[in-house]
């Protein structure tokens, strides 16, 4: 929801023109600037005039009128490039949209296109749209997706993803696309409601983003015919080639669980792809510690290190994204009329900025460590600490399911036949099987099984962070799982690790049990400690945060624990329904 109907009001546009006529002063003038001109594909020199949040002139002229309030910045010694754009953010990976936007801006990523799944599952539309309006007031530019499926089997999918609700979201001015389409198999199987939403999105000039891992050429062709515009799931150079062949915009991904960018760049060059205009970059919403070395600047650096031409590397994180999403008149270049998102670099080969302007405001200034970021009152938008209306009992921790889930890697789960004695209060540390329960956050049902492959020595782990916000319990000891659950409730939601009756680590998630109020910098330290503790206890994969999040995610094979029970993804059937409490 926008604060006003148009990006700039009529009187503001008249002020912008008055600056060109010398009747009004800019608010900032960047002089002696060497900057990337995205359309000439050259480095030009000139002056850049800014009035509040907009670039009003780029060229050789100096303004005829400059008053005492105008800030003159000598850009000698800097290289200026457009602010970077992250086209595929999941802004609820422990951090929240507000804190992640702040952190990303300091690394030059000043525009984010964000997932709305959290809002669909946990907030009313009035709360969500008010929050979107608040995000519009940030120095960062915040855009959104509209999910067309829930990424898991939802108990009340017809309510959370109703026709009226999806249309309301698609009509929001800051919503740029429908997707990501994790539920595309339903669409191919004849789901005309999803097809209707795609057609509505197209009518509203929204893009459709696919989620097509391992898709055949036949599937890619069908999805293009049904309305898909882009996809971020190419995992080889050949898959990039096939998507480009059929007209897709292709996001080259480099994330915590798919750090593919170096390999993709090498393979597409080997395939003779040297045209990069339909390629963009994404970090795919990784957990906090992945961003310790930067956000989109990190991906640009990887591109440069792998021989991508300098201007193409920057374009893949700027103008290519803006052009794809139809926001090129506002973003992606340093040109007249664009929003004043500008990164100041020390060298063309070093994409991490030393100074950053976002909407014409300094969000990073060389030599200044603290620049004020707008605050937020979370309770105004219905985001409170988690308060459960029910209590866990030891009877809830009964495990008699014949089929368990085998964790093959960070996110892939396969069914397996349980052969151990699950009637005990503790499981042996001689094997990698653990108790696993999913508890309805409203206390109505539970799903209990065994998780194999997660760890050998994790005694009690409880997380309110999950795909749906329902409660995950994992461990060898029912007693420690129970204690972890109690502590999770006490802190208003979060991730709690307990061992032999002692709380050894916790990450409070006081925003609905899903997100933290802490800064990303603080969360990096908390997450790294959590990962290290798990690895010491036998967790052998890459990313436990995503392991927790994807336990329910039915867009991944082969079996999942969901609100509807243990679910066979490949056959689209419930193997065992939940037990009502």
Structural domain containing residue 168? 85-257+266-305
Q: Which of the four pLDDT bands, split at 50, 70 and 90, describes residue 4?
A: low
Q: Is residue 368 part of a domain?
A: no
Token couple for 15: 């002020």
As given in the structure block, the two tokens for residue 77 are: 């010694």
104 and 46 both lie in a single domain: no
- Which of the residue ranges 137-146, 151-160, 558-567 would you say has the lowest mean pLDDT? 151-160
pLDDT confidence of residue 3: 47
Which whole number is the average pLDDT over 95-111? Answer: 98
Check whether residue 186 and residue 286 sit in a common domain: yes
- On whether both 559 and 507 belong to a single domain, the answer is yes
Token pair in block for residue 482: 């129970």
280 and 201 in a single domain? The answer is yes
The reply to whether 66 and 96 lie within a common domain is no
Residue 53, SS3 per DSSP = coil
Residues 192 and 238 in one domain: yes
CA distances to 10, 106, 132, 302, 517 from 294, in Å: 38, 9, 25, 11, 20
The Cα 484–Cα 506 span in angstroms is 9
Q: Which residue has the tokens 């599937």?
A: 219
Report the chain's terminal Cα–Cα distance, integer Å. 40
Q: Could you tell me if residue 352 is inside a domain?
A: no
- pLDDT given for residue 369 in this prediction: 76
Q: Which pLDDT does position 2 carry in this prediction?
A: 41
Domain-embedded: residue 194: yes
Is 155 inside a domain boundary?
A: yes
Mean pLDDT of 525-542: 97
In this structure, are residues 176 and 144 in contact, taking their beta carbons and an 8 Å threshold?
Answer: yes
User: Is 4 exposed, middle or buried (CB count within 10 Å of its CB: 0-12, 13-18, 19+)?
Assistant: exposed
Average pLDDT over residues 311-323: 98
**Rounded to whole angstroms, how far apart are CA atoms 557 and 509?**
28
Q: Which residue, among 539, 554, 222, 575, has the nearest Cα to 407 in the 3D structure?
A: 539
User: Angle 97-106/125-136 helices, nearest 10 degrees?
Assistant: 20
> Are residues 59 and 153 located together in one domain of the fold?
no
Of 553, 547, 579, residue with least CA distance to 565: 579
Residue closest to 130 by CA, chosen among 374, 381, 375: 381
Q: What are the two backbone dihedrals, phi and then psi, of residue 384, each rounded to the nearest 5 degrees?
A: -115, 165
Tokens of 415: 């069914």
Tokens 């650096």 belong to which residue? 301
Task: Give the DSSP letter string of 57-91.
Answer: EEES---S---TTPEEEE-TT-EEEEPEEEEEE-T
Give the span between the Cα atoms of 84 and 356, in whole angstroms.
Answer: 10
Residue 370 reports pLDDT greater than 80: no
pLDDT > 90: what percent of the chain?
Answer: 96
- Enumerate long-range contacts of 430-434, CB under 8 Å, 24 or more apart: 430/456, 431/456, 432/456, 432/538, 433/404, 434/458, 434/474, 434/475, 434/476
Instruction: Indicate whether 105 and 45 sit together in one domain.
Output: no
DSSP string, 110-171: EEEEE--HHHHHHS-HHHHHHHHHHHHTSSSEEEEEE-SS-SS--TTHHHHT-HHHHHHHHT
- Looking at the structure, do residues 27 and 72 belong to the same domain, yes or no? yes
Q: Which helix (H) or strand (E) holds 56?
A: strand 54-59
Is residue 520 very low, low, confident or very high in pLDDT (cuts 50, 70, 90)?
A: very high
Q: Which residues contact 475 (CB under 8 A, 6 or more apart)?
A: 434, 435, 458, 459, 460, 461, 481, 484, 498
Q: Are residues 573 and 459 in the same domain?
A: yes
Give the whole-angstrom CA distance, residue 197 versus residue 162: 11
Mean pLDDT of the region 531-535: 98
Whether residue 344 is contained in a domain is answered as: no
DSSP conformation letters of 358-389: ETTEEEEBTTB---------GGGGT------S
Domain boundary among the residues 54, 77, 100 is at: 77
The CATH number of whichever domain residue 287 belongs to comes to 3.20.20.140
Average pLDDT over residues 42-53: 98
Beta 109-114 vs 84-89: how paired, if at all? parallel
> Does the pLDDT at position 90 exceed 90?
yes
Residue 459 tokens, joined = 């005694």
Q: What is the pLDDT of residues 375-419, one digit of tens each?
A: 999 999 999 999 999 999 999 999 999 999 999 999 899 999 999
Q: How far is CA 283 from CA 254, 347, 425, in A?
A: 5, 23, 41
DSSP string, 312-353: HHHHTTTHHHHHHHT-TTTSSSSSTTSB--EEEESBTTB-S-
Indicate the pLDDT class of residue 98, thresholds 50, 70 and 90: very high
Question: What's the structural domain count of the chain?
Answer: 3
**344 forms bridges with which residues in the sheet?**
80, 355
Buried b (16+ CB within 10 A) or exposed e, 520-544: beebbebbeebbebbeebebebebb
Q: Judging by beta carbons within 10 Å of its beta carbon (0-12, 13-18, 19+), is residue 193 exposed, middle or buried?
A: middle
Q: How many residues does the chain have?
A: 581
For the chain, the average pLDDT equals 96
Is residue 255 scored above 70 in pLDDT?
yes
- The answer to whether residues 414 and 540 belong to one domain is yes
Tell whether 332 is covered by a domain. no
* Range list of β-strands (E), 192-346: 207-210, 230-231, 249-253, 279-282, 342-345
Whether residue 272 sits in one domain with residue 131 = yes
Final residue before a domain boundary, out of 57, 77, 97: 77
Which sign does the torsion angle of CA 134, 140, 146, 149 carry? negative
For residues 318-344, give the mean pLDDT.
98
């Amino acid at each position: 929801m926008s604060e006003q109907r148009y990006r700039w009001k009529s009187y503001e546009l008249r002020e912008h023109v008055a600056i060109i006529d010398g009747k009004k002063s800019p608010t900032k003038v960047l002089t002696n600037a060497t900057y990337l001109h995205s359309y000439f594909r050259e480095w030009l020199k000139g002056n850049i005039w800014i009035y509040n949040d907009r670039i009003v002139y780029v060229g050789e002229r100096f303004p005829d009128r400059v008053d005492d309030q105008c800030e003159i910045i000598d850009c000698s010694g800097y290289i200026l490039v457009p602010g970077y754009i992250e086209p595929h953010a999941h802004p609820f990976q422990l951090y929240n949209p507000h804190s992640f936007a702040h952190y990303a801006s300091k690394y030059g990523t000043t525009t984010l296109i964000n997932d709305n799944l959290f809002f669909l599952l946990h907030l009313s539309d009035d709360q969500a749209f008010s929050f979107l309006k608040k995000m519009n007031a940030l120095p960062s530019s915040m855009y959104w997706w509209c999910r067309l499926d829930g990424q898991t089997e939802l108990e009340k999918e017809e309510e959370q993803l109703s026709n009226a609700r999806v249309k309301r979201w698609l009509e929001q001015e800051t919503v740029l696309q429908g997707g990501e389409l994790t539920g595309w198999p339903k669409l191919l199987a004849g789901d005309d409601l999803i097809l209707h939403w795609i057609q509505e999105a197209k009518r509203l000039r929204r893009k459709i983003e696919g989620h097509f891992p391992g898709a055949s050429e036949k599937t890619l062709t069908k999805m293009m015919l049904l309305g898909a515009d882009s996809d971020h799931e190419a995992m080889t150079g050949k898959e990039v080639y096939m998507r480009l062949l059929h007209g897709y915009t292709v996001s080259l991904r480099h994330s915590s669980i798919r750090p593919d960018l170096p390999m993709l760049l090498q393979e597409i060059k080997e395939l003779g792809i040297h045209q990069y205009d339909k390629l963009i970059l994404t970090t795919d919403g990784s957990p906090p510690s992945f961003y310790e070395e930067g956000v989109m600047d990190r991906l640009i650096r990887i591109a440069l290190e792998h021989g991508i031409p300098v201007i193409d590397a920057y374009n893949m994180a700027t103008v290519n994204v803006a052009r794809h999403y139809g926001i090129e008149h506002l973003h992606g270049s340093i040109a007249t009329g664009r929003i004043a998102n500008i990164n100041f670099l020390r060298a063309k080969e070093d994409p991490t900025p030393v100074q950053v302007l976002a909407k014409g405001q300094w969000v990073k200034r060389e030599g200044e460590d603290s620049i004020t970021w707008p605050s937020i009152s979370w309770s105004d938008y219905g985001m409170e600490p988690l308060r459960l209306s029910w209590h866990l009992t030891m009877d809830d921790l009964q495990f008699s399911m014949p089929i368990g889930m085998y964790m093959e890697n960070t996110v892939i789960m396969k069914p397996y036949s349980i052969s151990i004695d699950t009637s005990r209060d503790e499981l042996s540390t001689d094997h990698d099987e653990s108790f696993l329960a999913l508890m309805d956050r409203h206390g109505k049902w539970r799903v209990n099984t065994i998780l194999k492959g997660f760890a050998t020595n994790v005694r009690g782990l409880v997380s309110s962070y999950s795909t749906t916000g329902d409660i995950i319990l994992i461990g060898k000891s029912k007693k420690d799982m129970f204690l972890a659950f109690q502590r999770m409730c006490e802190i208003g939601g979060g991730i709690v690790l307990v061992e032999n009756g002692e709380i050894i680590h916790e990450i409070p998630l006081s925003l609905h049990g899903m997100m933290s109020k802490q800064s990303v910098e603080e969360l990096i330290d908390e997450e790294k400690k959590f990962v290290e503790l798990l690895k010491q206890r036998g967790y052998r994969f890459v990313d436990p945060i995503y392991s927790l999040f994807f336990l329910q995610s039915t867009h991944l094979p082969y079996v999942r624990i969901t609100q509807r029970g243990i679910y066979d993804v490949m056959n689209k059937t419930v193997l065992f329904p939940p037990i009502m409490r």
